[in-house]
Amino acid sequence: MAETGPDQYLREEFNRWAEAGRGEGMEEHHVPIVEPTLALMDLQPTDRVLDVGCGTGWLARRLAASVPRGQVVGIDVSDEMIRRAQLASADIPNVKFLEGSAEQIPAPDDSFTQALSVESAYYWPSPERGVAEIFRVLCTGGSAWILINYYRDNPYCHQWGALYLIPAHLRWAEEWVSVFCQAGFVEVTHRRIPDLSATPEVYTGQWFRDADQMRQFKAQGALLISGRKPPRA
């Protein structure tokens, strides 16, 4: 019987994004907020890193270069994103991609030393379930990092909600912090990652009213929530 429900709906929508080439296009937009995040993660050569909602895998490939004696696993609910990620990464030995949802991560407990998710978590049907799954698959002492551009504290992104064809969670930073704490993470913090890239003089896309609104959005920055998995009590 064909699968129905939120995962199927997400898969169909993000497969359309992938087929339109939007997966590859995201690298350019996300690099300015991802690079400062990678610096904070302080990756070690042997780290085992999970990328949740990896899209076509540009970030997983970067991560793989930072952990030459470790491994990177990218998961995504869209099989077309995963197919493209695999195609583009065939010659990289320490990266692999799996179809799967954040709410049911296809990995055993205690598999990873770091987990990162970029511009994905507000789409998850249950962020609570996704963050709890990340907690499960992290080793003791491992860190989780969720980076999102769509959150309530930044007033310059609220208009996106009306443009999404899938329901998206517009939450306060403190609500995301609670989700991490409820999952069991400690040392939970949130911070802003401003996008310091140049803004065009004229904006003609659909996401911002004009270049000035885009500039203000980027100055507010993305929201980065992080936490560490403590030793078992």
Ligand X SMILES: C[S@@+](CC[C@H](N)C(=O)[O-])C[C@H]1O[C@@H](n2cnc3c(N)ncnc32)[C@H](O)[C@@H]1O
Q: Which residue, 53 or 227, has its beta carbon nearer to ligand X?
A: 53
Task: Determine if 119 is a binding residue for ligand X (CB under 6 A).
Answer: yes
Asked if 10 is part of the footprint of ligand X (rule: CB under 6 A), the reply reads yes
Q: Which residues pair with 98 in a beta bridge?
A: 75
Phi/psi of residue 84, nearest 5 degrees? -70, -40
* Residue 114 DSSP label: E
Report the residue from 97, 112, 124, 145 that binds ligand X according to the rule CB under 6 A. 124
Q: Indicate whether 14 belongs to the interface with ligand X (CB under 6 A).
A: yes
* Contact of 199 with 211, CB cutoff 8 Å: yes
| 3-state SS assignment for residue 222 | strand
Q: What span, in angstroms and rounded, lies between the C-alpha atoms of 115 and 63?
A: 11
x/- binding map, residues 49-68, to ligand X, per CB under 6 A?
Answer: ----xxx---x---------
Which is nearer to ligand X, 71 or 101 (by Cβ)?
101
Residue closer to ligand X (CB basis): 119 or 195: 119
Binding of ligand X by 81 (CB under 6 A): yes
The stretch among 72-80, 88-96, 157-165, 223-231 that binds ligand X (CB under 6 A) is 72-80
Nearer to ligand X, 124 or 185 (CB): 124
Establish if 102 lies at the interface with ligand X (CB under 6 A). Answer: yes
Residue identified by tokens 């939007």 is 22
Q: Please state, in angstroms and rounded to a whole number, the distance separating the CA atoms of residues 74 and 64.
A: 10
Tokens of 123: 């789409």
> What's phi and psi for 164, nearest 5 deg?
-70, 140
Residues forming the site for ligand X (CB under 6 A): 10, 14, 26, 30, 53-55, 59, 76-78, 81, 101-103, 118-120, 123-124
